[in-house]
Amino acid sequence: MEMSHRSKPYAAIIEAAEAKLRKIMGIPDNYTVLFLQGGASLQFAMIPLNLLRNSKKADYIESGAFASKALKEAQKYGDIKVVGSSKADKYSYIPKVDPSEYRQDADYFYICANNTIYGTKFHEYPETGNVPLVADMSSCILSEKVDVSKFGMIYAGAQKNLGPAGVTLVIIRNDLIGEVDEKVPAMLNYKLMADNGSMYNTPPTYGIYMLGLMFDWIEGQGGVEALEVRNREKAALLYDYIDQSELFKGTAAKEDRSLMNVTFVTGNPDLDAKFVAEAAKEGLVNIKGHRSVGGMRASIYNAMTLEGVQKLVDFMKKFEVENKEA
Ligand SMILES: Cc1ncc(COP(=O)(O)O)c(C=O)c1O
């Protein structure tokens, strides 16, 4: 952890991490990989500050609380249009948007690919033509194969599928990196970060080292393709049980269901609380839904095994038998 980020051994670590990511994700050469700080939330501001360069217009799909935060941040800097929102329905689905709503002269089009709190995901990405698609993949990166060339920019906070909190991964098409307003702080300038190989200042060195280990692990698992097969199996196991259960009910629209975050309720908040408490006694922890929505949420990121999900389903079955009449 004391290793200088300018030292040769550290250069080998960061370069290897980037090379491995490029390989497992199939990142084309005309994209730059940045390892930044400030969490995914700082990207909510960095994106408009750097990408609103021409028309100063951007289109947003408001599919959850993080998309909404990103939208609010962008509204400080440009002409932002909400082309679709599911806010009125507690973000329980991905808004279906008519492409005629998209502005052809927008500087970018923004989505949150997987909505962590609500358990929804884009199963098909918007076709935005020449307008660069920017996606927050904080809670789904490397969980399934993605064609990077379809995006102008992909970013993710590390703390779900990449490694410890503290690193924010940005993958950005080179033509989107350019001069920004001189008032943009240096630390928020993609060009400065890119020109300095993510080392304008000290990068989150230890976190980047951990990401490199994670990329090795993914490769060892058979790559993103193999993880996707396993992730689909895990999610299907849980959703199939929920769909035939008389006690539990999924809260996300079926066609938009996430592979990473499975949200469900019993319909009775007291019973939900009992479920969470009893599950914890079985070692099934972190199952409580986000404080803004309640109920339950099983986050089954890449590190969760099929056996782990099976254990949860077995426990849900047992709980259902014991509490059916409650
Ligand atoms: C999809 C998504 N975007 C953004 C964030 C915010 O990330 P951070 O806490 O790194 O700012 C999260 C956090 O969980 C998230 O799930």
* Distance between CA atoms of residues 191 and 206, nearest Å: 23
23 SS3 class: helix
CB of 169 shorter than 6 A to ligand 1: no
Q: Tell me the CATH number at 126.
A: 3.40.640.10
Q: List % helix, strand, coil for the chain (3-state, nearest 5).
A: 40, 15, 40
Q: Tell me the CATH number at 315.
A: 3.90.1150.10
- Top mutation candidate among 68, 116, 140, 263 for ligand 1, by most atoms within 8 Å of CB: 116
Whole-number pLDDT of residue 200: 97
Q: Which long-range contacts (CB under 8 A, 24 or more apart) does 232-238 make?
A: 232/144, 232/259, 233/306, 234/259, 234/300, 234/304, 234/306, 234/309, 235/259, 235/260, 235/262, 235/300, 237/306, 237/309, 237/310, 237/313, 238/262, 238/298, 238/300, 238/309, 238/312, 238/313
Per-block average pLDDT, block size 10, for the chain (326 residues)?
Answer: 93 98 98 98 98 98 98 98 97 96 97 98 97 98 98 98 97 97 97 97 97 98 98 98 97 98 96 97 96 94 98 98 82
Locate the ligand 1 atom nearest the alpha carbon of residue 64 and give its number: 1
Q: Domain limits at 304?
A: 223-323
Locate the ligand 1 atom nearest the alpha carbon of residue 137 and give its number: 1
Instruction: Compute, in angstroms, the gap from residue 26 CA to the centroid of ligand 1.
Output: 24
Q: Which long-range contacts (CB under 8 A, 24 or more apart) does 212-218 make?
A: 212/13, 212/16, 212/17, 212/20, 213/163, 214/161, 214/162, 214/163, 215/17, 215/20, 215/21, 215/24, 216/20, 218/24, 218/142, 218/302
CB of 294 shorter than 6 A to ligand 1: no
Q: Among 171, 195, 220, give the residue marking a domain's end.
A: 220
Q: By C-alpha distance, which of 248, 227, 233 is closest to 302?
A: 227
Strands of the 79-85 sheet, one edge to the other: 31-36, 168-173, 153-157, 133-136, 108-112, 57-62, 79-85
Instruction: Compute, in angstroms, the gap from residue 86 CA to the centroid of ligand 1.
Output: 19
Q: Whose CA is nearest to atom 4 of ligand 1?
A: 40
Residue 170 CA neighbour count, 13 Å, CB half: 30
Radius of gyration of the chain from its Cα atoms, rounded to whole angstroms? 21
Domain co-membership, 121 together with 176: yes
Whether the model pTM is above 0.85: yes
Whole-number pLDDT of residue 1: 87
CB of 65 shorter than 6 A to ligand 1: no
Domain co-membership, 126 together with 248: no
Structural domain count of the chain: 2
Domain co-membership, 187 together with 279: no
Whole-number pLDDT of residue 291: 87
* Distance between CA atoms of residues 180 and 52, nearest Å: 9
Domain co-membership, 89 together with 131: yes
Whole-number pLDDT of residue 296: 98
Q: Among 220, 237, 256, give the residue marking a domain's end.
A: 220
